[in-house]
């Protein structure tokens, strides 16, 4: 399986670009944010998702591992294929997407081209709790966030509360109590 490619950007098209690596040109599908960050002739390293079907073998390129992880999480939702996942990735910056999904904003997702209301609800339902794991958070914050989500708070609420609780604020139970006090306001 291909994980990364490093090479020179040979050409950029509407929904893909060609990355030349050692004399071989790879056709890499990408969203508009990735494509706009590329320059022909410049060497780039990209993270790859290889999507193999009976009739095609497509490569999807992302500039960061976080973007690739998010894309692959979208693909884990039944009924979501690479085209829909790429459309979601193109809709907003990664942190904004995580925030919207953590808040359960299915209506916003349904407003994107190619995503129906049922698919949007399914994405929110299946990914809402998982998105906390994707972001860069300290282990103590991850534990606090997981505890708060198990208590019924949304991933977004838990993440916001964790931002205001210092890691050195005592034991895990002290941090949970402080977060609960903060969330009850």
What mean pLDDT is reported for the chain? 86
Say if residues 125 and 74 touch (Cβ distance below 8 Å). no
pLDDT value at position 133?
A: 44
Q: What is 4-62's CATH topology?
A: OB fold (Dihydrolipoamide Acetyltransferase, E2P) (2.40.50)
Residue 20 has pLDDT above 70, yes or no: yes
pLDDT value at position 100?
A: 87
State which of 47-61, 133-147, 171-185 shows the largest mean pLDDT: 47-61
Residue 132 has pLDDT above 50, yes or no: no
* pLDDT (mean) for 139-145: 72
* pLDDT (mean) for 100-108: 87
Domain locations along the chain: 4-62, 65-131, 137-183
pLDDT band of 107, cuts 50, 70, 90: very high
pLDDT value at position 75?
A: 92
Comparing 59-63, 125-129, 132-136, which segment has the lowest mean pLDDT?
A: 132-136
Q: What is 65-131's CATH topology?
A: DNA polymerase; domain 1 (1.10.150)
pLDDT value at position 91?
A: 92
Residue 154 has pLDDT above 80, yes or no: no
Instruction: Check if 65-131 and 137-183 are the same fold.
Output: no
CATH architecture of structural domain 137-183: Orthogonal Bundle (1.10)
Write out pLDDT tens, residues 162-181: 888 877 777 888 888 888 88
Higher pLDDT, 158 or 139: 158
């Amino acid at each position: 399986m291909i994980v990364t490619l490093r090479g020179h950007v040979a050409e950029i098209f509407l929904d893909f670009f060609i990355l030349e690596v050692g004399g071989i040109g790879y056709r890499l599908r990408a969203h508009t944010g990735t494509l706009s960050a590329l320059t022909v002739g410049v060497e780039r390293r990209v993270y790859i998702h290889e999507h193999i079907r009976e009739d095609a073998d497509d490569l999807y390129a992302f500039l960061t591992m976080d973007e690739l992880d998010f894309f692959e999480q979208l693909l884990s939702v039944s009924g979501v294929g690479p085209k829909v996942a790429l459309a979601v990735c193109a809709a907003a910056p990664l942190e904004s997407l995580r925030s919207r999904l953590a808040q359960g904003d299915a209506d916003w997702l349904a407003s994107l081209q190619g995503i129906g209301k049922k698919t949007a609800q399914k994405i929110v339902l299946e990914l809402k709790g998982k998105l906390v794991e994707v972001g860069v958070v300290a282990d103590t914050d991850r534990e606090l966030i997981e505890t708060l989500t198990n208590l019924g708070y949304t991933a977004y609420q838990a993440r916001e509360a964790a931002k205001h609780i210092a890691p050195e604020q005592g034991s895990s139970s002290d941090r949970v109590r402080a977060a609960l006090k903060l969330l009850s306001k």
